[in-house]
Amino acid sequence: MTHTVGRLDRAAVDAAFGRRVDAGTALADDANQVAAACHAMAARFHRGGRLLVFGNGGAATDAAHLAVEFIHPVIVGKRALPALSLTNDVAFFSGLAAAGAFADTFAAQVRLLARPEDIALGISASGRCANVAAGLAAADDSGLLTVALLGDGTVGDGPDIASSPAVAHVIQAHSSDARIVKEVHVTVYHVLWELVHVFLEQPGLLGPKVIRS
Amino acid sequence: MEALYPFLYADQLDVEPVLRAVSVSTADKAREIVALRQQLAGHFADTLIACAGDMADRFTAGGRLFTFGNGGSSSDAQAVAQLFLNPATGARALPALSLTNDVAVLTALSNDIGFEVVFARQLAAQGTAQDIAVGLSTSGGSANVLAGFEQANRRGMLTVGFAGYEGGRMAEADTIDHLFVVPSASVHRIQEAQTTTYNVLWELTQLAMD
């Protein structure tokens, strides 16, 4: 039986799901970048670093999701790790936006709140959000580990974050559709959370500084 | 240093195999969610079409969308509201509100009554019979989400639920008009599949309103 409501039919559903396959499959090819980011993040957590996460719009909701993932693990027995979503502070955000300083939002927070041992993780579905780029640059200046979850960078006219020398670990979803990019990012940050713990459970893998402490 | 204390560095020699194992695990999870999504296209097709049609009717009649959930699902609720309210790509913007946005309301209700009423009381105050309630819970058992659905249903709102595993108490509730249960045992894959499902639901709702 074929259901049709207006222009809706099974073909529209299949087309919508079908458009997601390539970007989802491509993530498997980027597994080494994800693994390297997990290792570096685990080393920072082991040194007492915290995770600062930021993004705009839909990515702001991902930042909140990522922070709660680390702070309150859904899997019983995993330790809580310090994480903070920078868009939680609506007063700060609307204050800077009203003053015409929106491009400086994340950078200002990083300069004020971050410590050198921390991790800055910026999310931009376009890969070209100016305030995310500035936040990552400020983080790199302050000695933070920098990680970016990005789209393919083919839409938007902001700076291309993937080619920024300030970003140590770039993980790109291979799509220009912000919704498909978000779906890949959700898998990426779930994997980041899970596999950071693999390294934390074997502290011998996290470098000489750890062993000396 | 290493020459003096080789035992301090011995463990580090093992990092490469662990990195490789972590890479393999990442690739496995990527393929797992792709397969789950493909399974859902058929599994959810009829419900998606009916739900998008009903949501389009509500929006056309002037209804608004209220979204709610806890923890990661609260960020998904915000993402759903954001998707309808501010679609970046020239699509139609529609009225939507996440019920976890207002920290004053959340803390007031939790402090004075209890956390289980935080969504129901907001829906009682704001909801009308034209409106839509979308609630998300990976377990399907969140008490405040279930109470939200009860209130929304009582007010005549269209109710849409997202759950995981086997749907929990949401699958037994008679207060949810359209329910999407992601059949996975992994809370992470459930959330990832829910994200795709609400994105597709948004797309079909837009299509129905064209």
Looking at chain A from residue 60 to 99, which residues have their Cβ under 8 Å from any Cβ of chain B? 60-62, 64-65, 68-69, 72, 74-75
Q: A84 to chain B, minimum CA–CA distance in Å? A: 14
pLDDT at A210: 46
- Better-predicted residue by pLDDT, A81 or B11: A81
Evaluate if residue B107 carries a pLDDT over 60.
yes
Neighbour-count burial for B89-122, b at 16+ CB within 10 Å, e otherwise: eebeebebbbbbeeeeebeebeeeeeebbbbbbb
Report the CATH number that the domain containing residue B67 is assigned in CATH.
3.40.50.10490
| Residues A123, A132: Cα–Cα separation, whole Å | 7
What pLDDT digit, counting tens, does each position of A130-144 carry? 999 999 999 999 999
What pLDDT digit, counting tens, does each position of A90-108 carry? 999 999 999 999 999 999 9
pLDDT at B13: 55
Of the candidates B101, B98, B94, B99, which has an alpha carbon nearest to the alpha carbon of residue B63?
B94
Q: Is residue B98 part of a domain?
A: yes
Evaluate if residue A76 carries a pLDDT over 70.
yes
Domains in chain B, number: 1
Q: Per the structure block, which two tokens stand in for B203?
A: 């797309």
pLDDT at A74: 86
| Boundaries of domain holding B72 | 44-209
| C-alpha dist (Å) from residue A73 to A37, A66, A97, A150 | 19, 10, 33, 24
Evaluate if residue B168 carries a pLDDT over 60.
yes
For the beta carbon of residue A178, count every other beta carbon within 10 angstroms.
22
For residue A211, name the pLDDT band (cuts at 50, 70, 90): very low
What pLDDT digit, counting tens, does each position of B50-94 carry? 999 999 999 999 999 999 999 999 999 999 999 999 997 789 999
Q: Is residue B8 part of a domain?
A: no
Q: Is residue B38 part of a domain?
A: no
Query: Which residue type is seen at A131?
Result: N
Domains of chain A: 31-203 (3.40.50.10490)
Residue of A nearest to B80 (CA): A58
Q: Is residue B82 part of a domain?
A: yes
Q: Which residues contact A95 (CB under 8 A, 6 or more apart)?
A: none
Mean pLDDT of chain B: 93
ipTM of the assembly?
A: 0.91
What pLDDT digit, counting tens, does each position of A1-49 carry? 344 456 789 999 999 999 999 999 999 999 999 999 999 999 999 999 9
| Residues A113, A87: Cα–Cα separation, whole Å | 13
CB < 8 Å to B23, chain A: 31-32, 34-35
pLDDT at B12: 53
Q: B152 to chain A, minimum CA–CA distance in Å? A: 24
Of all residues in chain A, what percent carry a pLDDT higher than 70? 94
- Residue A19 contacts B, CB cutoff 8 Å: no
Q: What is the CA radius of gyration of chain B?
A: 21
Per the CB < 8 Å rule, is B200 touching A13?
Answer: yes
Of the candidates B111, B137, B105, which has an alpha carbon nearest to the alpha carbon of residue B123?
B105
| Residues B132, B117: Cα–Cα separation, whole Å | 18
Q: Which residues contact A198 (CB under 8 A, 6 or more apart)?
A: A38, A42, B18, B21, B22, B25
Q: Is residue B16 part of a domain?
A: no
Q: Is residue B35 part of a domain?
A: no
- The H or E element containing residue A123 is strand A119-124
What pLDDT digit, counting tens, does each position of A107-125 carry? 999 999 999 999 999 999 9
CA A201 centroid distance within chain: 22
Q: Which residues contact B87 (CB under 8 A, 6 or more apart)?
A: B93, B202, B206
What pLDDT digit, counting tens, does each position of A149-163 carry? 999 999 988 999 999
| Residues A109, B135: Cα–Cα separation, whole Å | 32
Of all residues in chain B, what percent carry a pLDDT higher than 70? 94
- Better-predicted residue by pLDDT, B5 or A90: A90
Q: Is residue B199 part of a domain?
A: yes
Mean pLDDT of chain A: 92
Per the CB < 8 Å rule, is A6 touching B208?
Answer: yes
**Mean pLDDT over residues A72-79, rounded?**
90
Per the CB < 8 Å rule, is A35 touching B26?
Answer: yes
Evaluate if residue A212 carries a pLDDT over 60.
no
